[in-house]
């Protein structure tokens, strides 16, 4: 069924009033932009003459940035090191109006930095500086303390798992049951190696590669897609699974047996970096704004179409999202699904 225009208007009017807890792997994204004019005499690789540098929030911090851009209040919970990168990240958070009060400094690990070198708008190489180790029991206890201090204030939870060690099975076993009991919507942007840890959540949002990998079936057609979606629902016991499919849009599988497909609205695809962050942020924001799950998926699909048209880690603001919804889906009195 198409989404009625009055529903879109009501949902977008209510977006920006929620308090969302984001738990996950926090990163600093560094972009070095330049041009290539020669090949190195030292090795058969291009020499990139760097012209500009840019820092941005990555991982769970980018999810928080998306939440803030929609007008919501993000509570970002996670781990950073005691290093220069954490200072730079804190400054970026301050600029975006995101509190760093719920971050924990761990002297035993570095703040994750992902450096991307781009030449002529094309990524040449990426270099990662990180420590991929699970958090200690003491750090887990500190995270739980942050969660417990916030749980009665929040309207939704996003788990942003990049496999760097913050999202442990033990931590999920303590957090998810509390959210279920309090009827707090939990959206998970999953790491495939941890996939079956996210049991009994509200939704998981894997891309089609991740979904196919964990289900042991490559998604090549609609039959494969249907089998993968059903398999993941049964294994996770979740309320839903939202599989993002790149140029083919998204597919929503719900525990009531319903399946909905949302064709992409992207006009062009330059860079998918951070698109998953935007999808889960907008989905949970729309749910907090009173949308049904199908309506929230439609809104998130529209947001994804915006960010993949930008180079680098992108976000979508509430005004841009509202405009795109009206531009892409307005059809008389209805928004076409």
Question: For 217-242, what is the mean pLDDT?
Answer: 95
Domain boundaries, the chain: 3-37+47-335
Q: Nearest-CA neighbor of 69 among 95, 88, 94, 96?
A: 96
Residue 336: pLDDT above 50? no
- The rounded distance, in Å, linking the Cα atoms of 263 and 266 is 9
Task: Out of 25, 29, 106, 277, pick the active-site residue.
Answer: 277
Residue among 269, 262, 331, 272 nearest 302 (CA): 262
Scored b (16 or more CB within 10 A) or e, 212-246 reads bbbbeeebeeeebbeebbebbbeebebbbbbbbbb
For residue 58, the number of C-alpha atoms closer than 13 Å in the C-beta half-sphere is 25
State how far the Cα of 240 lies from the Cα of 233, in Å rounded to an integer: 7
- Does the active-site annotation cover 277? yes
188-224 pLDDT tens trace = 999 888 899 999 999 999 999 999 999 999 999 999 9
The fold adopted by the segment(s) 3-37+47-335 is 3.40.1190
Band of the pLDDT at 6, cuts 50, 70, 90?
A: confident
Please tell me the predicted confidence (pLDDT) of residue 333.
Answer: 40
User: Which residues are within 8 A (CB) of 207 and not within 5 positions of it... i.e. 6 or more apart?
Assistant: 243, 244, 245, 246, 276
pLDDT (average), residues 174-183: 97
Is the full-model pTM beyond 0.85?
A: yes
> CA–CA separation, 276 vs 205, rounded Å?
8
């Amino acid at each position: 069924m198409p989404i009625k225009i009055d529903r879109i208007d009501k949902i977008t009017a209510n977006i920006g009033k929620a308090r969302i807890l984001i738990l996950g792997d926090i990163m600093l994204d560094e972009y070095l932009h330049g041009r290539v004019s020669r090949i190195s005499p030292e090795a058969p690789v291009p020499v990139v003459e760097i012209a500009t540098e840019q820092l941005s929030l990555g991982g769970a911090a980018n999810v928080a940035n998306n939440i803030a851009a929609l007008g919501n209040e993000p509570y970002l919970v996670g781990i950073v090191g005691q290093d220069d990168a954490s200072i730079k990240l804190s400054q970026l958070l301050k600029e975006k109006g995101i509190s760093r009060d719920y971050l924990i400094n761990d002297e035993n690990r570095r703040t994750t930095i992902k450096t991307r070198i781009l030449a002529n708008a094309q990524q040449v190489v990426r270099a990662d500086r990180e420590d991929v180790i699970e958090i200690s029991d003491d750090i887990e206890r500190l995270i739980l303390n942050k969660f417990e201090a916030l749980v009665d204030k929040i309207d939704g939870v996003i788990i942003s798992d990049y496999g760097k060690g913050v999202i442990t099975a033990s931590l999920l076993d303590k957090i998810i049951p509390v959210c279920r009991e309090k009827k707090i919507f939990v959206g998970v942007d999953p790491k495939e190696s941890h996939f079956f840890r996210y049991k009994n959540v509200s939704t998981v949002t894997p891309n089609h590669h991740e979904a196919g990998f964990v289900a042991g079936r490559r998604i090549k057609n609609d039959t494969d897609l249907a089998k993968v979606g059903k398999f993941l629902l049964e294994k996770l016991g979740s309320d839903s699974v939202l599989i993002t499919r790149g140029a083919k849009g998204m597919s929503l599988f719900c525990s009531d047996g319903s399946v909905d497909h949302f064709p992409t609205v992207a006009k062009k695809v330059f860079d998918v970096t951070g698109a998953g962050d935007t999808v889960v942020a907008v989905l949970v924001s729309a749910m907090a704004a009173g949308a049904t799950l199908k309506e929230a998926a439609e809104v998130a699909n529209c947001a994804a179409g915006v960010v993949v048209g930008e180079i680098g880690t992108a976000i979508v603001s509430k005004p841009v999202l509202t405009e795109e919804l009206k531009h892409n889906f307005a059809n008389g009195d209805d928004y076409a699904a």
